[in-house]
Amino acid sequence: MIKKFFITGTDTNIGKTFVSQILLKKATQNGYNTAGYKPVSSGCKKTSFGFLNNDALILKKNSSVILNYKEVNPIFFFENAPPHILSQIYNENIKIKHLSIGLKKIMKKSNWILIEGAGGWYTPLSYTNTFSDWVKKEKLIVIIVVGIKLGCINHAILTEKAILSEKLKCAGWIANNIMPEDKYNLYYIQTLLKYIKSPLLGVVPYLRNKDRINLKKIKIKLPK
């Protein structure tokens, strides 16, 4: 059976990709043939292979199966702006069926797939569809990454309520300390434990050097 999980966040820049690479590494250690999938991205950096999205490169690097860049990230825009706006400006429509086609290709190679969204739960792909519409179509299991900061409590509660209202399964949430921990961080997490119905899968400590990940020190459960 192929396991497919969709990573969403309480906001943009709250560490979805960083958490995704941790989950991919842990799933690989557990014997799965893992693959990261970033169907839509915006914002690229110059590499020796051209302009590519950094999040997609990280997912590709941490997948245990061999994937080419286009398999990991079939739809990408150079500028760092909402995908639906860029698609309109450059007349490149984002069609939900293309996201599904890309997923089916990866399903032929992997039995544990982590799909990373863009921004938050209701990030638009067009003026008629959001990322959540595609997740609902594919019946994907959702994981929420909560960036621990001021405002995260409201965002996390709203995100879970939206997911559950779509009759989707939320496998759990991960608290990611995106800035040096202050005296309130623990209170944020304790509050969320009271309000979020889905299980807490783990807490990621603040790390200054994100290139060196010690999995033994990061206590995250693999979603079921």
Q: What is the pLDDT of residues 173-187, one digit of tens each?
A: 999 999 887 789 999
Is 38 among the catalytic positions?
Answer: yes
Q: What is the pLDDT of residue 211?
A: 66
Q: How confident is the model at residue 51 (pLDDT cuts 50, 70, 90)?
A: confident
Percent of the chain whose pLDDT exceeds 90 = 86
* pLDDT mean over 78-98: 95
For residue 224, being part of any structural domain is answered with: no
Q: Take residue 121 and report the two structure tokens written for it.
A: 């739960």
User: What residues make up the domain containing 165?
Assistant: 3-217
Instruction: Please indicate if the annotation marks 36 as binding a ligand.
Output: no
Q: What is the pLDDT of residue 220?
A: 92
For residue 56, being part of any structural domain is answered with: yes
For residue 222, being part of any structural domain is answered with: no
For residue 79, being part of any structural domain is answered with: yes
Return the closest-CA partner of residue 123 out of 6, 11, 1, 4: 11
Q: What is the CA radius of gyration of the chain?
A: 17
For residue 115, being part of any structural domain is answered with: yes
For residue 212, being part of any structural domain is answered with: yes
CA separation for the pair 14, 146 (Å, rounded): 7
For residue 223, being part of any structural domain is answered with: no
For residue 128, being part of any structural domain is answered with: yes
Catalytic pick among 4, 38, 60, 149 = 38
CATH value at residue 170: 3.40.50.300
Instruction: Please indicate if the annotation marks 129 as binding a ligand.
Output: no
CA separation for the pair 113, 37 (Å, rounded): 7
* Number of domains forming the structure of the chain: 1
- pTM given for the model: 0.95
Q: What is the pLDDT of residue 210?
A: 66
Per-residue pLDDT reduced to its tens digit, 194-207: 999 999 999 998 88
3-state secondary structure of 72: helix
Instruction: Please indicate if the annotation marks 27 as binding a ligand.
Output: no
CA separation for the pair 159, 152 (Å, rounded): 10
CA separation for the pair 120, 15 (Å, rounded): 12
Per-residue pLDDT reduced to its tens digit, 112-130: 999 999 999 999 999 999 9
